[in-house]
Structure 1
Amino acid sequence: MVNFTLMTAMILCSFSWISVSGSHSVTIQPGEDVTLLCPNVSNYDAVSFWFRLINGSQARCISVMITSKTEVEFCGGFQNKKYEISSNITVLFLKIKQVDLSDSGLYFCGFYAHGRPIFSVKHLNVEGSDEAQNDMESKQKDEFDTIWLISMILGALTFFLLVVIVGLVVQIGKLQTAHKEEQRLEQLQNPHLEDLNYAAVAFRPKAKQRQMEPNVIYSATR
């Protein structure tokens, strides 16, 4: 489970590179299956994720995918028996099986592409739940309060995404270090190859041609 404080969210919301692509509401009967769709407006196979709002102020991670071809990583508290995550690059899918009243609430999906996160907001309303009544009351609130709440949530999600990216960078750095260490061990095991690679070729200066001594011919005249 991933919990974020409101202070962290407010700090992160000061960055202007958080984008919201839109919101959508879905109403369903208890016991049915529902699939939430999240369009990838960047059309780029990037890091994707699903979150859910808990208790009105905490964002809980559902899943993270590095690319559409990698295996889905479910966060603590969420089981793949209840949720199915899939992607075809252009759309990210979240299937919830046999929904009940506790599944009602706000869901956030997004992608990290071209150096900035892009979020979409999905509201799942299971008929007969308390969330339905809360939804009607929230629509009567001031628009500024709604935008402020969403901004804080998106800031929290951005913080988690940054943690994921930093983890990937650290992992890549470890792989590069291991590769360099492997090359170093190969060089130690084959010292002759090292000598051949760095052997210096010495050239002797060309000897100067000796000057021919003049031959003196003595002739005697008798």
Structure 2
Amino acid sequence: MRNFTLITVLLLCCLSWISVSGSEFQTVEVQPGEDVTMLCSNYSSVPTQITWYKLVKRTQPHCVSSMFRSTDPAKYCDGFKSGKFEMSSNVYTLFLKIKQVDLSDSGLYFCGFYITKNLVIVDATFLEVQEGFDGITKLILGGLTVFLAMVVICLAVKIKKLQKESPMERDLDSDDLKDAALSLYLTTIRNRRPESERQVETRVIYAASR
């Protein structure tokens, strides 16, 4: 998590009627489909209406949920009543849990209360949901991975097979050259002999073949 001063961010993106308690906020990065829980200090020793807000791209903060006492059930504002958001509290801390986050959940979440129509912020968390792969993309990437693995294996087997066959082919080529050289040598020797000796040799070879 990275810490940034809350004052700097609110000067850039909040309205002038929002006050700041001087605290810092954290950036939390999560993947789509994960659950995330954000914390807020229970700063009041007496019952006080404490509210979680969401701020996105310099828009006016939207109420997420609120609670008067830690023993009271949380009240959820419009747009956050689907059961995806869950607010709870103990003596010291308030919690806001978001189930199975998606990209639309990214934004600045903070808790606070009103004093004479001014919103005082206590703690804040910038939630950043990372862009992930959907099911179809994962399936395509998985298929490509398997296909490439099969291609690599086939190429490796083929190369290994060629490496085994190469010495044999070289031996066969060498034997062919030797046979050709010997045949040429014998032909040359026979051509240099007298006609009578070549006839005798022919008869001997013919008789031997029979």
The TM-score normalised by the length of structure 1 is: 0.46
* Larger of the two Rg values belongs to structure: 2
The TM-score normalised by the length of structure 2 is: 0.49
Q: Looking at both structures, which has the greater relative contact order when contacts are Cα pairs under 8 Å and sequence separation is at least 6?
A: 1
Query: Which structure: greater helix fraction?
Result: 2
